[in-house]
Structures are given as C-alpha cells and as structure tokens.
Structure 1
Amino acid sequence: MHTFRLAFAAAFFLVFNSASADPNFWRHEWPETDFSVTSIDNWVEIMSGGPPKDGIPALDDPQLILVADEKRIGDREAVITVEIQGERPRAYPIRYLTWHEIVNDEIGGVPVAVTFCPLCNSGITFDRRVKGRVLSFGVSGKLRFSDMVMYDRETQSWWQQAIGEGIVGEMTGVQLTALPTWMESWGEYRERNPDGLVMAQPAWPRQYGRNPYVGYDSSRRPFLYNGELPPHDIPALMRVVRVGDRAWTLQRLMDEGQIVEAGVTINWASGQASALDHYGIGEGRDVGTVRVRDAWGKDVPHDVMFAFAFHAFYPDGEWMLGR
C-alpha cells in the first residue's frame, strides 16, 4: 500500500486533487460522515494519499509477547514506549506501525491509540476516551499537509493525527488527550524493561522491517505537501521536538545534548536509527532518542516530527532556536 502511495499518488495529484477538493466527491465512501460540520476552511488541503479507507489497516487488541521472546527486532530499531503506572511497559515497534499507522489497545483499563505517521515522523499515543465514550480509530487514506487523517469508527468523524483534533464530522473541534510516551531504540527499551512486553508481529502479509520510504527524511520537500515551508532556513524534513506549541530542532539538541528551557528538560542520546532512511528500518543513520521531562522529572507528552509539519499545524508556534 505504501509503495503505491509513493510511486503513483503524485502522478495523479493534479487531476485527483481538483476533483477531491469538494467533499461531495467523498460522500459515497463516507455516507455516515457529516461533512457540514468541519474546521476545514479550504478543502483542497485534503487529498488522497493513495490507499482507500482502511487500505492501511489499523490494528486492534494486538498480541503481546515478553521482551525475552522477541528475536526479530534489531537493537537500533525504533519503538514507541508506553508506560502506564501499575502496568508492565509496552513497546510498539515502528517496523509494524510503518505499515499499520494505528494500534488500538487497552492498558490497565486505559484505552489507547498508538499512532505513527511516516510522512511526518509523528508518533503520538492518545487516550481513546472521548466525551464519555471509547472510540476506535482507523486510517482514512487521506492526508492533510502530508499528515495522516484518522477516523473513528463510532461517528465516522475525521481526526488530524499530528494534533489529535477532530476536523470533520460530529467530533470536529474535540481534542484527544496525548499521553507521555516516547520513541526509543529497541535496545534501550529491552535493557530498561527486561520483564516488559512488546507487540508481536501482526498476521498480515507485509514486508515488516523494510522501509517503504527509503531516503525520505533526506528529501528537500515532503510528499504531497501543499503548505508553506518552515522559517529560519530550517530544512523541511529536519526533525524537531515539539512540546505544546514550541519546537526545538533536533540539530540543536544533538549539539547541546541537553536543553533546559520553558519548564522542560530535553535530553538526547545516540543509538536509535532513522526508520525513514535506509531500506532496512534498523540500518538508518543515527537520529538518537529524545526524552522530555518536567521540573519534577515526569515524562511530558511530546512529538519528534518534521519541521514542515510543525509549521503547518502550529503556524503561530514558537521556534526555540537558542542563542
């Protein structure tokens, strides 16, 4: 599905995008979505990423195995770590999320959606409890500013993954709660959590461990992106650490090792491979692991996303450039 997205979607972009700028074009695919309620001002921002609704299949109630039983994952491969007090830590490997993008799970009574958008490098875990109900999420097949548009199966509303906000339908304007999770290398997770859990390989015919976006994070421009590029001569696909509406470039963090600003402490350590560089997910260049904590040492919700995505979704955000 992802190979199709990259190889063919751009070729049909102009023709398809002009047609799909009208939500009436999507009503046959989304008969239960209320397109009259939306925060989208310009429908041309929404476009097809290639696969149709659920063409990238989200996962539900994944199988988990003990860390000691996992033999496929390389030490430098990225995982999203979810630690909820009183529960065993869980790791969700990017080698699987690259092909599924959303995992609906429950940890100690907390329903969560672990999400990863490869085109934005955005990995965020959300609480699925919304307005007194529990939602489950799927992949719409649509992109906005090159970021995944999710949908919930209960109301068929559309959600922007990078900001966790409803953008079309009944849930428009509703904000999901982001949990303080982070991306780290499998080696780091395994060493710290020898008795922890990890999501097992899904039973889908996918080339797990392969990166379908080879060299993407070295590109000059994002895929299917129609927004402004970042200011301050920051490369569009430079990773930035987003905390709220502030962003620190990964280059600054790598240079300094630790940044203490705006009420948070941001640390960087080498050892995590870029999942969007080499053909093999664990063979990419070292982009390191980022941890963000508050003044009391508690983990803080954050995202390590591309600069173009921060600028697109936080146009008035603050760039923390240092001296």
Structure 2
Amino acid sequence: MLRGLLLCFGLLLPLTAAADPQVWQREWPKTDFSRSLVADWQEIRSGGVPKDGIPALDAPRFVQAAKDRRIKPREPVITLELEGATPRAYPLRYLTWHEIVNDVVAGVPVAVTYCPLCNSAVTFDRRTGAGVLRFGVTGKLRHSDLVMYDRETQSWWQQATGTGIVGRMTGTRLKTLPSWVESWQEFTARNPDGLVMAQPGWNRRYGQNPYVNYDRSDWPFLYDGTPPPHGLAPMERVVRVGSRAWPLARLAREGGIREAGVVLSWRTGQASALDAGTIARGRDIGSVRVRDSQGRDLPHDVMFAFAFHAFWPDGTWMLK
C-alpha cells in the first residue's frame, strides 16, 4: 500500500535521506541549523518529495457553497468560523494534495493545515513576533508528521504542535484557532450562505485518496517511535484537546462527553479521507465538536493515537 502511495505522487526518490544538517544545508542555505529543538536528527526523515514538492496554497479563491457541485455530502471539510467573516470550508479533497493553505480571514492571517499521515487538521494564526509568516511544505517528516517551513526565515515547524523546531524561529509556538472537520452536508446545513475554497488550478486527482486504506494500516508510514500505551492501536483516532486525548471510539460509543472542563460531541455522517480510493466513499467515522462549558468552540485535533503519543509523551489519556 505504501509503495502505491508513493507512486501516486510519481515519486522515484529513496524513502530516507541522511539525517544530517550539513547535507540539508545545501537545499536550505538560509536555515539556521545551529538552533533546534530536535535532540536526535534521525527523527527527521525525507518523505520522498523535495521542498515544495507538495505545493502549499496562497490566497485561495472561494465560491458560494450553494453553487459548488463537486463536493459530495459526506466528504470532510475543515470549517473555520471567525467572528466578522462568512464561514469558510476547506475541503480535504484539496488539502490532501496541498497540506497547507495560507489565507486571510476577517483580517487574521491563517494557515489551515492537514497532515494525512497523522490525520492532523489544525488552523494557526500566522502572526508572530517576527511578523506575518507564510508556510510551505519541507518534504520532510518527523514522527510521520508534516514538517512545515516559513518562507520569511526558512525555519522549520512541526505541524501537529505549531512549534518552530529548527532555525531562527525555534521555540516559537503559533496560536491555534478553533476549527474542526465535519461533513460537507453539515457545513452547508448550518451555513447555507457560507463559502468554500474553490478547486485549485493544479493538475491533481482532487477527490481521490492517494493513501488508500491508510487508516486501516497496522503501523504509520515512516514512523520509528513506540506504539501508544494502554493497548491502543497506533492508527486509532483520538480527540486531542491541549495535552489530553479522548479515544474517538469512546466518544462515538457515548455520543457525548463532559469532563476536564470541555464538552465533546459526536455525530455520524462524515467519510474518512484515508480509507477508500474516492474520499466520498470512505467509511463513516463521524464528526467531532469540542466546546467549553459556555458553548464556545475550542481548538482541538482528531489525530492518530501514535502521533499524540509521539508529541505529547506525558499527555493524559482520557480512557473512561
């Protein structure tokens, strides 16, 4: 399956490359490799594509949701509803192939990100002490998670955590904004006048899943870490809120959970983007919303258990 995954991208490159900053310096001459949070450079692997081999999108076009005829009802979209702006949907049929969208919503520069290998969908505020940053894809992975870079300082960033891990911005943490993944029919039912990102102008098989059966795999792609504890399967989905993780299976079984100051809800109707060859035909994994006790949406992520374990090794597992 993984061989087929690579061929979907037309990759003939080796799966691994020397984890040596002196080698990477030729490709990244403006990156300060003397500053890093990475204790072991072997953690960073080549994903098989070069810098910008997966092209991030800048200033995408949007169309009225009611006029879109491409997206199927069960397809997943990342929803962003910021005060002062029309709600926007970023379909995973596009993010699967681009992974990062640099946008401006209600005057806020945002980066809408999606790492298929970790199933991590997180939206960040692009404003930092060094100015507004624009993000791209390094082509590298750490613990199977997307390593982003900013075009202004050429620093590297961990997508799952929003933290600078190499370069001038090392140690800087991006602010996470509330967003969530839901089905297209859920978005349009709640936001009939909403906007949806238009199909990009790249030659990609939009709507197709290049990671067929990935979320049914026994082990993640290019992951050398340890499996999650408590007998959880590495590819089991968990809902991460801060440094806590609730198994999605528990939430689906209970329908709703109220604990640790958060309220989690689940409903059927969303297709997995990492199952069938056509995203719209993926099995139903349901949609999650996370709010505080006042009903306000909270930043969260629905990721694979191995990724939570890798990046929050001391995190709390909310098993029961």
TM-score, structure 1 length as denominator?
A: 0.96
Q: 1:96 to 1:311 in 2, by over 3 A?
A: same
2:292 is matched with: 294
Count of paired positions: 317
2:6 is matched with: 4
Equivalent of 1:237 in 235, 238, 251: 235
Q: 1:129 to 1:224 in 2, by over 3 A?
A: same
User: How many Å separate the matches in 2 of 1:9 and 1:306?
Assistant: 25
The 8 Å contact of residues 5 and 212 in structure 2, kept in 1 or not, is answered as no
Q: CA RMSD in A?
A: 1.5
Q: 1:10 to 1:301 in 2, by over 3 A?
A: farther
Q: 1:227 to 1:153 in 2, by over 3 A?
A: same
| Structure 1 spans left out of the alignment, 5+ residues | none
Partner of 1:27, secondary structure, is helix
User: How many Å separate the matches in 2 of 1:8 and 1:89?
Assistant: 35
Post-superposition CA distance 1:88-135 (Å, at most 9, x none)? 000000000000000000011100000000000000000000115100
Equivalent of 1:113 in 111, 117, 123: 111
Amino acid at match of 1:55: G
Q: 1:8 to 1:70 in 2, by over 3 A?
A: closer
1:65 is matched with: 63
Q: 1:165 to 1:294 in 2, by over 3 A?
A: same
Partner of 2:27, secondary structure, is coil
Post-superposition CA distance 1:271-319 (Å, at most 9, x none)? 0000000000011111100000001100000000000000000000000
Post-superposition CA distance 1:165-189 (Å, at most 9, x none)? 0000000000000001000000000
| Structure 2 spans left out of the alignment, 5+ residues | none
Partner of 1:95, secondary structure, is helix
TM-score, structure 2 length as denominator?
A: 0.97
The 8 Å contact of residues 143 and 225 in structure 2, kept in 1 or not, is answered as yes
2:215 is matched with: 217
Shift of 1:4: 2.6
Tell me the percent identity: 63
Residue correspondence of structure 1 range 193-212 to structure 2 within 5 A? 193-212=191-210
2:33 is matched with: 35
User: How many Å separate the matches in 2 of 1:167 and 1:196?
Assistant: 36
The 8 Å contact of residues 45 and 141 in structure 2, kept in 1 or not, is answered as yes
The 8 Å contact of residues 213 and 277 in structure 1, kept in 2 or not, is answered as yes
The 8 Å contact of residues 13 and 49 in structure 2, kept in 1 or not, is answered as no
Amino acid at match of 2:131: R
The 8 Å contact of residues 50 and 141 in structure 1, kept in 2 or not, is answered as yes
Amino acid at match of 2:6: F
